[in-house]
Amino acid sequence: MSSVKIFSGHATKYLAEKIAQSYGKPLGEVTHQTFSDGEMCPYFSESVRGCDVFIIQSTFPPADNFMELLLLIDGAKRASAKYVTVVVPYFGYARQDRKDKPRVAIAAKLMANLLTAAGADRIMTCDLHADQIQGFFDIPLDHLDGTSIFIPYLKALNLDNIIFASPDVGGVKRTRAFAKFFDAEMVVCDKHRKRANEVASMRLIGDVEGKDVIMVDDLIDTGGTMCKAAALLKEKGANSVRAVVTHGVLSGKAYENIENSVLEELVITDSLPLRGESSKIKVLTIADLFAKAIRKIHDHESISSLFIQA
């Protein structure tokens, strides 16, 4: 069987090192050369001929992160790698997965096309913004589930009157999956937006009186929706409000919003690097989950055992 080699783009090296360590192999060496005008020229500093190559990079802004990933994929294919698996812990541009207004791009589909065109043989990611994005790829995609990270942590909290909440209607399916593990009820915060990152109004569907509420979402950006939903839940009689979110994008005034909110804590993963600090933010690592998935893929085994079954 061909040997495994794990590499990383510049932006996600902090996580790739943990994944490689958990897998039991050193992270492969990539040299990052940059021309004076900013043009990138990353290249592998070791042979990948005949190897199963895993390239780790989350595709968050700036766009150079995505461009670097494409160059590394192309470089691996041209260097005669046997199989190239692209590991994208956070799949950027996933919020643009449909035409919600005239004359707009479907960016998630474009990202999928570009990764395939660059030469990727397989994609591995975690908690896509919408499940149907899996269908945007014409190559195999392994969609890992963040519940296996969060469920053990939430169980360890030993909350008595637990109830789960979705901060919007679109997250109901994800929230219901969490509620099933705990045999708990769920509520929904129905929001109306006038424009991106700005909530115009919100109302609660369900009862949270005296409950310990866990809000569930796939990503948190400015934190406006999450903090407004937390305030509404508290207003409706919730005993405590926490949030578990896979991808901590945390841009704009996110850290300030979270610190000043009624949230007890915000639990996220390290799929994205933290850009600031807050006493309310708890980070759980997804390195072990991805390392196990890499091993199973290389050994041609099912990854179903990595999912927690309700």
- pLDDT tens figures, 108-158: 999 999 999 999 999 999 999 989 999 999 999 999 999 999 999 999 999
What spatial distance separates the first Cα and last Cα of the chain, rounded to whole Å? 35
**pLDDT for res 192:** 66
269 backbone dihedrals φ, ψ, rounded to 5°: -105, 175
Instruction: Note if 191 is an active site residue.
Output: yes
Active-site position among 5, 18, 191, 292:
191
Residues in the chain with pLDDT values less than 50 = none
Q: Is the peptide bond before 62 cis (omega within 30 degrees of 0)?
A: yes
245 half-sphere exposure, CB direction, 13 A CA radius:
26
**pLDDT for res 7:** 98
**pLDDT for res 310:** 57
